[in-house]
């Protein structure tokens, strides 16, 4: 049921998705939704946003430890690009859907804020571990998430991956620059010991 | 009525705004909405998105001719930041609202796509006039609009201007770099004449 909610929220937004739509998509018995989500749509939207944010967060963390920041940006963008194309440019970011839900689901908005902050903090920490100073790492992390989220909005409206493709190239170049700077600064700091 | 629609779409999204809400906000007689917008909500959403995109487009064009690319980025971001703070982080970009409207208003999505493309083209043309090669100018323009649109999503969810502030600093630095590169390349090209 949560998976159906995430799918529909990504495509239509939280406000245009009814509980009946979710039950039908999940092929679940009517009434079961209030058994699992006694708080109704507000609770469902909050939990769906939290779940989607957590899954993406785990993916980001794993990729950062195994492959590094540049490859992780490419991975996230590729995932979203594939979903866009497969759904004829209708499926956006599930956490953004929570962020843009109206007053009816205030806790979904908070869950989205927490998810974004956790992604930003994870990417910033990884850049810092690669030698980037923390304030710059935080700024680059926020820029990365913002540019990807915005490119998804442009790509959906333009029915084209062009915005996402351009943002991918810009973000990869930015991350490479910032990592190269960190490495060269590190070398300079080591110089007096030689 | 169009202004009321833009205001409500920005805060709640297109799907969570009813025609009755718009009529009440505009303090207009019931029924007048179908006089002005015989196509109902779909037409209203399309025209509101088109109007909002056009107004912002004019502002961008004027600022680019009078002040230049860096000042224009600062101007756009400051406008959105002020709206965010004044509405307790509920008011986003009216064109993004059109982009994210559901299947009920398909022409609003197209109007949003056109507005984004026109902003991108205007900014790219200005960067090109300042000596930046066109492919780079287009990429930086798309990156700028995407990062601002995404930062608005993050800022609304986090109820903080932090994302928008960080993106502002990154975009200004990026635009300054790209313009400085264009100037120094221009100088090199002039060198043989000296």
Q: The dihedral of CA B40, B43, B49, B54: what is its sign?
A: negative
Return the residue matching tokens 């989500």.
Answer: A37
Cβ pair B114, B135 in contact under 8 A: no
- pLDDT value for A81: 98
Of B13, B143, B151, the CB nearest to A15: B13
Interface touch B151/A150, C-beta < 8 Å: yes
Residue A93 confidence (pLDDT):
96
Q: Is there a contact between A15 and A101 (Cβ–Cβ < 8 Å)?
A: yes
Is the Cβ of A107 closer than 8 Å to some Cβ of chain B?
Answer: no
Which among A3, A92, A134 has a CA at the least distance from the CA of B96?
A92
What H or E segment, with its residue span, contains residue A133?
A: none
The answer regarding whether domain B52-193 maps to CATH 3.40.50.880 reads no
Q: Which residues have CB under 8 Å from A15's CB, separation 6+?
A: A101, A102, A104, B12, B13, B15, B16
pLDDT score recorded for residue B186: 67
CB contact set of B56 (below 8 Å; sequence gap of 6+):
B76, B95, B115, B119
pLDDT of residue B103: 76
pLDDT at A82: 97
Using CA atoms, how far apart are residues B28 and A63, in angstroms rounded to an integer? Answer: 54
* Disruptive mutation site among A99, A143, A159, A161 for chain B (greatest number of B CBs within 10 Å): A143
According to CATH, the superfamily of the domain at A50-188 is Tetracycline Repressor, domain 2 (1.10.357.10)
Check pLDDT > 80 for residue A193: no
Other Cβ atoms closer than 10 A to B3: 13
Give the single-character DSSP code of A160.
S
Q: Give the N- to C-terminal CA distance of chain A in Å, as an integer.
A: 62
- Going by C-alpha positions, the residue among B56, B156, B102, B70 that lies closest to residue A149 is B156
Mean pLDDT confidence for A119-144: 98
Distance from CA of B162 to the nearest CA of A (A): 9
Q: What is the pLDDT of residues B34-67, one digit of tens each?
A: 899 999 999 999 999 999 999 999 999 999 999 9
> In chain A, pLDDT over 70 holds for what percent of residues?
95
Q: Which of A73, A80, A77 is nearest to A174 (CA)?
A: A73
Q: Sorting pLDDT into bands at 50, 70 and 90, what band is A184?
A: confident
Instruction: Determine what percent of chain A is predicted with pLDDT higher than 90.
Output: 85
Cβ pair B6, B52 in contact under 8 A: yes
Maximum C-alpha span of chain A:
73
Annotated domain spans of chain B:
52-193
CA dist., res. A46 & res. B87, Å (int): 23
Number of helices (H) and strands (E) in chain B: give both, helices first. 9, 0
Pick out chain B residues at pLDDT < 70.
186-194
Q: What is the pLDDT of residue B194?
A: 40
Question: Residue A181: which region, alpha, beta or left (left: phi > 0; alpha: psi -120 to 50)?
Answer: alpha
- Determine whether the interchain pair A92/B113 forms a contact, defined as Cβ–Cβ distance below 8 Å: no
Chain B interface includes A26 (CB < 8 A): no
Summarised one tens digit per residue, pLDDT across range A88-113 is 999 999 999 999 998 788 899 999 99
Minimum Cα–Cα distance from A152: chain B residue: B146
Mean pLDDT of A121-134: 97
Question: Is residue B18 less than 8 Å (CB to CB) from chain A?
Answer: no
What DSSP string runs through B158-189? Answer: HTSSHHHHHHHHHHHHHHHHHHHHHHHHHHHH
């Amino acid at each position: 049921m949560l998976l159906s909610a995430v799918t529909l929220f990504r495509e239509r937004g939280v406000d245009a998705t009814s509980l009946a739509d979710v039950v039908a998509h999940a092929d679940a018995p009517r009434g079961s939704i209030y058994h699992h989500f006694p708080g109704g749509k507000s609770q469902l939207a909050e939990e769906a946003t939290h779940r989607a944010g957590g899954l993406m967060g785990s993916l980001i963390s794993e990729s950062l430890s195994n492959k590094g920041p540049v490859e992780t940006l490419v991975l996230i963008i590729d995932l979203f690009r594939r979903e866009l194309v497969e759904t004829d440019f209708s499926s956006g970011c599930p956490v953004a859907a929570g962020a843009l839900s109206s007053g009816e689901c205030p806790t979904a908005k908070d869950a989205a804020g927490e998810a974004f902050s956790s992604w930003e903090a994870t990417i910033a920490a990884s850049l810092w571990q690669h030698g980037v100073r923390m304030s710059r790492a935080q700024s680059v992390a926020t820029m990365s998430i913002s540019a990807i989220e915005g490119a998804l909005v442009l790509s959906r409206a333009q029915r084209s991956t062009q915005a996402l493709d351009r943002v991918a190239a810009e973000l990869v170049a930015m991350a490479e620059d910032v990592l190269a700077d960190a490495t060269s600064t590190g070398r300079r700091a080591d110089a007096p010991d030689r």
